[in-house]
Structure formats: structure tokens, C-alpha cells
Structure 1
């Protein structure tokens, strides 16, 4: 029997339940939705989580579609799932936890006596730390972004090759291979010897079916490649970026992009122009380096210095 919160599953069974991680302001319990899929056969353990940022819902869309499709009778090993990590932010559709104004994915491995976010990070990491693989499902918040997978441990990390292979198996087509900030699960997991990736499934307000399907296929690719399920995986070449240039607006006004997501750009190419309300140009921004047009803001209106777009740089294939 494998137990996660109130979910318990014998071999060949699936169960869902709740993991208690604290209390709300009125003293009622905070219970995260969890699932245990205990395979009929022996094997590895994979931990999957979503919504550590409260407005990033594509990962939840993946879990919503994946869990019912996994037949525990055909599974070797165990799949452990936390469907919604950032409980408070999810309730109000905000990126950060409004209780402590923290970004959840900067607080791992957590602190059992810390802030609300640190306590949730601690409780979820107690599950993740015993897994053989970790998938931390994200998206580019509500911005427009490529479907990509992030390897955050850094190129000198002893598990970098394992994480890079996991990203290739997941197979979004694009990989951002840059060491992440302290406290990210995709950094802490490898430090504990667990290959971990951070799939960034596009960017949307609500959720986006195309990006969700990338995630669903990615999860099943991982389950098949690492022996949880039978089946072959076609390993496709990924486009990797090892740099990331971000651009702000030189003026207030309305943004007009000269490239679409996924386009190749060369140093000196115009990325976007800013006009006033009547179409008169106020500014123009060009690429500093060759790369791929990776991410943009969703709304056209900008203030001076406000974020507009990003270009993935130092591009190769693997």
C-alpha cells in the first residue's frame, strides 16, 4: 500500500485524496488534491506537480487528462501527483501566494516552520525527495510563450546530462538550458540526485489545449521511456537555447511585433516597434544577438521600461 495524504492505493490501484499542508485564516484546513497510481508491477517512482504558480493552469490541464488514462494494471512503479501546489494563489488566480507574497517555486526545499509558501514547499518536497524522477509542470504565466522544457541545474551539475535527457524525452521541441534561481524545484531535485525538469507549457489566460497536449504527450513519453509503461518513444531532436535576452520598451505606447514565436532572428533585426495611439512611431528595438523569438507580453500597451519580449540565444540542437 502506498499512501499520500488521504490517498492510499494497493498494487494495481489508483486513489485520489487530499494532503493537509496548513490552515486558512479562518482555521479551516488547506488540503491539496493528490493522486497515487500504484502499478501492478515493481518499478521506479515519478513525482509530478502543477500550479506552483497560481495562474499557470496548463499543468493542471495535463494532470486532469493524464491521471484517468494511466491504467495501474499496466503500470510498473508508482506515479505520485500533487495537482495544485499553490493553493492560495490558485483560489484567486494570481501568480504569487497572496498570503505571504511569495513565489512558491523559489522556496524549495521548504521550511516546515516558515511562511505559508515555505511550509507548502516543505510538505510537497517530502514527497518529491523520494522519487526517481520529477516533473514540475509550469507555463510562461499569462504571457505568450513557446512550448519548452527547462533544465535548471546548470551545465556543470553532475546530473546535467540526466536532466537534459529527461527534457529530450519529454519532447516539447525547445529546451532552455540555463541554471535557475535558488529555491526552484528543478534545481533542488538534482542536488538530491533526482533528474528534474520544468516543462513550460506555453502561456495562456486560463488554459490552452495545444500546450496541454504537448504536456500530455510529454508525460507519456517519460512513462514509456523510463519503463513505467510499455511502448517505444521516438526521440526527436530538440532546439536548445543556453542564453536568454529580455527586452523592455523604450517608450510608453502600443507594441507592434515584427516576429512570431519560434521565428529565428539575427542580431540587428527589428523585434518590435512602439507607437502612440495614432500610429506615430515612438521607438524601435532590435535584437542584440542571433536567436529564437521565445516569449512576448500578451497585451499591446506598455509603459517605459516595461517587459515586452525575450529571445533565446546561443542556439544548438541535440
Structure 2
């Protein structure tokens, strides 16, 4: 028998429930939607969570589509799910937890006696530490971004090769291999000995069916690649970036991009232009070096110095 919150399942069973993480301002219990899939045979444990940033919904879409496909009779091991981590932000379609104005994926490993976000992080981290592998499903917020998997432990970490293997197995086609900020689950869990990656499934308002499809395929790849399910891993040639060049607007106006997501960029290429409302050119921005056009703002209007786009650098393939 395995349990997660109020969900409990014997071998060969599944169950859904709630993981209590505190109370709202009127005293109502806050329970994160959770589920367990207990395979009929012994094996590893995979932990999957989504929406630790409340407006990043593609991961929720992945779980919504994936979970009904899982037959415990076919599975070796256990799969643990927390479908919505940032409960308060999800309710109001915001990125940060509005109770404490915190980005949840900067709060790990959390504090069971701390702020709202720290308590939620502590509760989910206790679950995550039970696993052999962790997938923390994200997206590039509401900006536009390629589908990628992030390895955040740092290239000198003792678990780096295992995290990179997990990213390759997920198989989005792009990998960002760059040490992440303190407080990320993909930073904290490897320190506890658990290989963890952060799939960033595109970027959109609401959710994007193509990114969700890639996410479902990626989780299936992990299930097959690590022996939870029989079958082969479906991956393609993958491109890795080891960092970013970020570009801001040198003038206010309207952005016109000259590169598309996933397109090669060479030093000196025009990346974008800024025009006035009548189409008059105000600024032209060129690339500092070579890379891949990785991420861009969604709305065209910018103020001076405002973020516009990112180019992935330090590129190689495998």
C-alpha cells in the first residue's frame, strides 16, 4: 500500500485525493489534488508535479491526459502526482502565490512552519524525496518559448550525468543545461540524491495542445526508459544550450522579430527591430554571438530596457 495525502492504493490500484497544506483566510482547508498509481510489479518511484507557477498550465494538461492512460496492471513501480502545486496562484491565474507574493519554485526545500509558499514547498518536497526520479512540469510562463527540458543542478554536481540522462530520455528536442537559482525543486532534490529535471513545455496563455502532447510523450519516454512500462523510448536528435544571451529594448515602441523560435542565430544577425506606431524604425538589435532563438515576449509593445527575447548559447547536439 502506498499513500499520498488522502490517496491510497494497493499494488495494481490507483487512487486520487488531496494533500493538505494549510488553510485559506476563511479557515477552509487547502488541499492540493494528488494521485497515486501503484504498479502490479515492484520497481522505481516517479514523482510528477505541475503548476508550481500558477499560470503555467501545460503541465496540468499533461497530467490530465496522461493519468487516465495509466493501467497499474502494466506498470512496475509507483507514480506519485501532485497536479496543482501553487494552489492560491492557480485560483486567480497568476504566476506568484498572492498570499505571500512568492514564486513557488524559489521556495524549495521549504519550511513546514514558514510562509504559505514555504509550507506548500515543504509538503511537496517531502513527497518528492520518496521518489527515485522527479519531473517538475513547467512552461515559459505566458511568453513564447521552445519546448525544452532544464537540467538545473549545475554541470559540476555529483548527479549531473543522471539528471542529463533524465532530460535526454524525456526528449523534448532541446535541453538547457545551466545551474538554476536557489530554491528550485530541480536544484534542491538532486542535493537529496534524486535526479530531477524541469521540462519547460513551451509558453502560452492557457495551454497549448502541441506542447502538452510533447509532455505526455516525454513522461511516457521516462516511464519506458526507466522500466516502469515496457516499450521503446521515442526521442529525436537534441540540441543543448549551456546559457542565454538576453536582449532588451533600446527604445520604446513595437517589436518586429526577424527570427523564429528554434531558428539558428549567428553573430551580427538582426534579431528584432523596434518601430514607432507608424512603422518608422527606431532601433535594430543584432546578435552578440551564435545560438538558437529560444524565447520571446508575447506582446509587441515595449518600453526602453524591457525584456524582448533570449538566444540560447553554448550549443551542442547529442
Give TM-score scaled by structure 1 length.
Answer: 0.99
Counterparts of 2:36 and 2:284 in 1: how far apart (Å)? 52
8 Å Cα contact 2:6-2:19 kept in structure 1: yes
Partner SS state of residue 284, structure 1 = strand
1:18 and 2:18 aligned? yes
Partner of residue 266, structure 2: 266
Counterparts of 1:137 and 1:306 in 2: how far apart (Å)? 27
Partner of residue 31, structure 1: 31
- Within a 5 Å distance, the mapping from 1:102-113 to structure 2 comes to 102-113=102-113
Partner of residue 228, structure 1: 228
Partner of residue 240, structure 1: 240
Partner of residue 75, structure 2: 75
Partner of residue 128, structure 1: 128
Output one character per residue of 1:28-64: Cα deviation in whole Å (capped at 9) or x when no partner: 0101000000000000000000000000000000000
Output one character per residue of 1:254-313: Cα deviation in whole Å (capped at 9) or x when no partner: 000000000000011110000000011111111111000000000000111111000000
State the aligned residue count: 318
Structure 1 portions without partners, runs of 5+: none
Partner SS state of residue 36, structure 1 = strand
Partner of residue 150, structure 1: 150
Counterparts of 1:234 and 1:127 in 2: how far apart (Å)? 28
- Give how far 1:108 is off: 0.4
8 Å Cα contact 2:171-2:234 kept in structure 1: no
Counterparts of 1:106 and 1:97 in 2: how far apart (Å)? 11
Partner of residue 2, structure 2: 2
Counterparts of 2:61 and 2:245 in 1: how far apart (Å)? 29
8 Å Cα contact 1:171-1:238 kept in structure 2: yes
Partner SS state of residue 244, structure 1 = strand
Structure 2 portions without partners, runs of 5+: none
8 Å Cα contact 1:168-1:236 kept in structure 2: no
- Give how far 1:188 is off: 0.8
Moved over 2 A (4+): 234-237
8 Å Cα contact 1:257-1:271 kept in structure 2: yes
- Within a 5 Å distance, the mapping from 1:1-318 to structure 2 comes to 1-318=1-318
- CA-based RMSD of the aligned residues comes to 0.6
- Give how far 1:232 is off: 1.3
8 Å Cα contact 1:168-1:237 kept in structure 2: no
Output one character per residue of 1:219-261: Cα deviation in whole Å (capped at 9) or x when no partner: 0000011000111114433100001011110111000000000
Counterparts of 1:235 and 1:27 in 2: how far apart (Å)? 47
Counterparts of 2:96 and 2:268 in 1: how far apart (Å)? 36
Counterparts of 1:171 and 1:125 in 2: how far apart (Å)? 25
Give TM-score scaled by structure 2 length.
Answer: 0.99
Counterparts of 2:67 and 2:185 in 1: how far apart (Å)? 22
Counterparts of 1:114 and 1:287 in 2: how far apart (Å)? 44
Output one character per residue of 1:199-229: Cα deviation in whole Å (capped at 9) or x when no partner: 0000010000000001000000000110001
Counterparts of 1:30 and 1:271 in 2: how far apart (Å)? 45
